[in-house]
Amino acid sequence: MVQLRTVLFASLSASVVLAAPLHKRIDQITSDGPAAWATACTTNGGGSKCGDIKQQAAATLLAAGKNCDQQDAADAMVDLSKTLKNNTDMIRLAQLFVQQPRNAPEKLQVPYCQKAPKNKELNGLFHCQFSGSDFTKFSGDQTGNLPLGVKAVNPPGSCPAKKDGPVPDGVQLNTLVTDPGVGSAGEPTVDPAAAAAPADNAAVAAPVAGAKPFTLQNGKDAQALNKKFATLTADTACTTGDDGCINGQFAQCVGGKFAVTGCAGGTKCFALPLVNKAGTSITCSTDADATSRIANTGATGGITGA
């Protein structure tokens, strides 16, 4: 009888061990994410709207959130901030919120949003990852493995506000940094040695009537690049580090040969004019947006100037 009881106890103990929960994702207290913004909002007279946006924003940090839900919530934060005398602290906290890591299912990296934000204050910003993530894999359908317009995230898991690497598991970014990593024009100040420059993602370029001295030239330079890209193939000789577009896909020269990466969501690769400074960017966009952004510089002849 003693032996039988011993065997039975051992079996039950084994069952308990096997039933122990497996830690398959990285969680956080999601309500903490937008809490600082909501406090600033209430202080500045936002009323009940502050709590409503806080609740919606917190839900976007859950693993079930869609790729652009967090950015949409940050846009709502900035929208309300602008009605409250363009409160700079609220906008800063919204810029930090959009970079807060989301809950990571299966401890995989969480994919990035593939559309431009509504507000220019969020241009070029994307979420960090939690440090316990598997930096070789992403969750989801693999269409958001790079932030919009960014060629590489280096070091993995970093973001403009925290350029040195990912956020410790479960920690709120706004407790680690106060600077969201953007310039006065709303463009990210990413170290070019650490990551490729994000695209200038203004929704609509400045009209010609208010053009800056470099605006037209930016348009012409983008057209020249697009015309050049139209002649490239995967077999075209190149110099390591060169970037371009091949058949609508982003191309990067590695070891003297182009490696191509497809754009997400029905977009194509284009050279586009920057808006707030001289230069161009190579990014994924729609035909209509690319045509509009080049035309708004005053350059004629469409995407290639033909």
Pick the closest to residue 221 from 270, 176, 276, 259 (CA basis): 270
Q: Three-state SS for 285?
A: strand
Q: What is the pLDDT of residue 206?
A: 42
Q: What is the pLDDT of residues 225-279, one digit of tens each?
A: 999 999 999 899 988 778 889 999 888 787 788 888 777 667 788 998 887 788 8
The segments of the chain whose pLDDT lies below 70 read 1-24, 183-211, 264-265
Pick the closest to residue 219 from 268, 269, 271 (CA basis): 271
Q: Identify the H or E element spanning 116.
A: none
DSSP sequence for 29-80: -GGGTTHHHHHHHHHTT-THHHHHHHHHHHHTTSTTS-TTHHHHHHHHHHHH
Q: Three-state SS for 11?
A: helix
- Rounded to the nearest angstrom, the gap between the alpha carbon of residue 285 and the centroid of all alpha carbons in its chain is 15
CA dist., res. 26 & res. 130, Å (int): 8
Q: Three-state SS for 146?
A: coil
Average pLDDT, the chain: 82
Non-local (6+) Cβ contacts of 31 within 8 A are 54, 58
Enumerate the domain spans of the chain: 25-175, 208-295
Q: What is the pLDDT of residue 265?
A: 64
CA distances from 246 to 27, 102, 163, 182, 304 (A): 40, 33, 30, 31, 14
Pick the closest to residue 202 from 187, 214, 218 (CA basis): 187
CA dist., res. 142 & res. 156, Å (int): 16
Q: Give the CA count within 13 Å in the CB-facing half-sphere of 85.
A: 7
CA distances from 252 to 53, 218, 229, 238, 259 (A): 40, 22, 12, 9, 5
Q: What is the pLDDT of residue 251?
A: 83
Alpha-carbon Rg for the chain, nearest whole angstrom, is 23
Q: What is the pLDDT of residues 54-75, one digit of tens each?
A: 999 999 999 888 999 999 999 9
Q: What is the pLDDT of residue 282?
A: 83
Crossing angle (nearest 10°) for helices 35-43 and 88-97: 170
Q: What is the pLDDT of residue 264?
A: 66
